[in-house]
Structure 1
């Protein structure tokens, strides 16, 4: 099969021509989109040090407290599926402004939740509404960029997305230490107000009225049916979700593994969380430079086997105890440094295949990521909540990612780096 003759490549080249950048994004533009994408991550990470306190205050188990994290991700998955098509119909600005405003409201309600069941339900709603910020940010990128340009911009966004959660646990720990875990949600409400004002003033409309899709649920269903018929799109859309599952296994499990299992204080945990965050951000920035020289699909097909090998190494260390906590932390840092290589490249490749329904495609990709991460990450708690359980879940997610790429795309076959799958 030659590059020239493949029909899917023709479609990708047409999409590339349609989405040729009309400007180079400046730092303020990247910061704005990064703040939008970071809203769900901040909503979870600022709350991390409070999980043991929530379990104690609401008289519930650690697993139930972890479900408040999972609930937001599941709500985010559903929210993206709904809001993505709405952004294709009504434009990008209106859905994100409404979504962020309702995020503020649900944050305030979370602050006064009387029971764990109420808090879980409100976290589902919070995830649903703040999904608007993420899906619109991704759709805006696809409105103007494609391929390596989109992948590079997404990787730059990881700098903002990564830096914000670096400090979120420390800030959340300080707030909760002074005023209790409920005040953390009030802080999230304040952040939402600031983000709403910035979006209102600075986010331009990138979807002209002439390109908007008329129709309601039937049109949205047709859009999702189109995506589901594209096997390569679906496979690539799963990659960010499986990467998120690795990350969320760490995010959800680490407070209990490190604070309860290894006796770290909240301050020590926040410091280690920040150090691991540096690995996340650093990996994303290396990818942003690398993607200018190497095709996105080539990066993905190298990174996934390496990630699997590292997670297997972490599992071995957790089982044997070799090297103690320092060895465990070094291996964990290496795994997290690899997490942000595959998702931006896979997302950019997937979105490049369906520029005519960018919002719907971004919603599908984002919802898949949130759903997979939300469903898989609690498994570490159900399996015992220790380092072995956390590492085992990471191995499972890394294995699944590699199998999907190998079996559902031509990435590892002869000629598999053609641009139809991201060459």
Structure 2
């Protein structure tokens, strides 16, 4: 069940990164412009956020499994339409539906775990899910690049449709309903509004949620800017960038594995505090290196960058579990707000880290410690009462 839920959570990086190598070919194949093809990414990301906001609260009243099954079916069909798209307009529309259903799958996967587990056990499960899902951003570009030549960009979407079919089978056979009828909230829009007030009104939830969201903000600042920093600033090749990207992703996965082993010896709150502290320290060292040297050596940038990215293995799973644990009466709504904040901040960070051009590491070096500082403040100020819990 955990593997299926992790695959559902991995749909976003898979559906984003796998087809990126084919964007130039897609523009030529569909006889359209590069900006038009790039809209397929924009609509997908918008769909991810909207899908989570809508389906998360809805699932608190209708249950998880039926919506999860519907989401995986729509994801599969949308991938098939993408593969067969005769025009860029059709592709853009299909990508929107792929994003909406993918966002629904992500929020429901988190809610299913929150329904079944609490405290350190939930943190352990979210960390394991992060380990499985964390492999996706590493292998997705490699798979996409390898498939582009033999099967073309349409073949990549057929592969995504195959992954969707596996998800449908997984939900059918391995994922039971995790929200009993007696725990559901009927009442339509009024119930949704009550759930939203209940979640937003929980100060401790907001503290953990902001810690999670700004931790992801640091991660997305790295993802958005690192191709330009590593290649244009440090002078490494595209192949060397792929190695750097894989090493950093592996560091985050190893940290998440360590986090699962340490839970039980340490509380999730302690490990989260450690992760945010390391993120802030690593980001600060990165900022010093980027702003005090005109031509920094590769190790001056890559070492603190590795530390910052790896620290998120202690942040993401623990922050998710602790936030969800605060709103157990509306786990779907809580999960939806986590996802909406996560991708909303990502959409904001992505253009900001490129504002000074592709030949400087400073915007990324500012964004990472700034995100870490906000996460630290949220953790210290809003979750204070949980110290004695």
Bucket of the pairwise TM-score, normalised by the shorter protein: 0.7 to 0.9
Q: Which residue of 2 aligns with 1:241?
A: 213
Alpha-carbon offset, residue 146 of structure 1:
0.4
Q: Does 1:418 align with 2:388?
A: yes
Give the Cα separation in 2 of the matches to 1:242 and 1:203. Answer: 30
Q: Does 1:389 align with 2:363?
A: yes
Q: Does 1:215 align with 2:187?
A: yes
Give the Cα separation in 1 of the matches to 2:38 and 2:374. Answer: 23
- Judged with a 3 Å threshold, the aligned counterparts in structure 2 of structure 1 residues 264 and 127 are, in CA distance, closer, same or farther, namely farther
Give the Cα separation in 2 of the matches to 1:264 and 1:193. Answer: 39
Residues 4-58 of structure 1: CA distance to partner in whole angstroms, max 9, x if unpaired? xxxxxxxxxxxxxxxxxxxxxxxxx321221122111222232444567678885
Q: Which residue of 1 aligns with 2:281?
A: 309
Alpha-carbon offset, residue 282 of structure 1:
0.6
Please, what is the CA RMSD of the aligned residues?
2.8
Alpha-carbon offset, residue 83 of structure 1:
0.8
Q: Which residue of 1 aligns with 2:257?
A: 285
* Long gaps (5+) in structure 1: 1-28
Q: Which residue of 2 aligns with 1:131?
A: 103
Give the Cα separation in 2 of the matches to 1:331 and 1:67. Answer: 34
Give the Cα separation in 1 of the matches to 2:222 and 2:3. Answer: 26
Q: Which residue of 2 aligns with 1:10?
A: none
* Long gaps (5+) in structure 2: none
Q: Does 1:96 align with 2:77?
A: no
- Judged with a 3 Å threshold, the aligned counterparts in structure 2 of structure 1 residues 78 and 277 are, in CA distance, closer, same or farther, namely same
Q: Does 1:404 align with 2:374?
A: no
TM-score with structure 1 setting the length? 0.81
Q: Is the 8 A contact 1:73 1:127 kept in 2?
A: yes
Give the Cα separation in 2 of the matches to 1:311 and 1:69. Answer: 28
1:252 to 224, 232, 243: 224
Q: What secondary structure is seen at the aligned counterpart in 1 of 2:215?
A: helix
Alpha-carbon offset, residue 178 of structure 1:
3.8
TM-score with structure 2 setting the length? 0.88
Alignment of 1:320-359 (within 5 A): 320=293, 323-359=296-332
Aligned residues: 384
- Judged with a 3 Å threshold, the aligned counterparts in structure 2 of structure 1 residues 308 and 293 are, in CA distance, closer, same or farther, namely same
Give the Cα separation in 2 of the matches to 1:65 and 1:156. Answer: 35
Q: Is the 8 A contact 2:290 2:296 kept in 1?
A: no
Alpha-carbon offset, residue 219 of structure 1:
0.9
Give the Cα separation in 2 of the matches to 1:325 and 1:182. Answer: 38
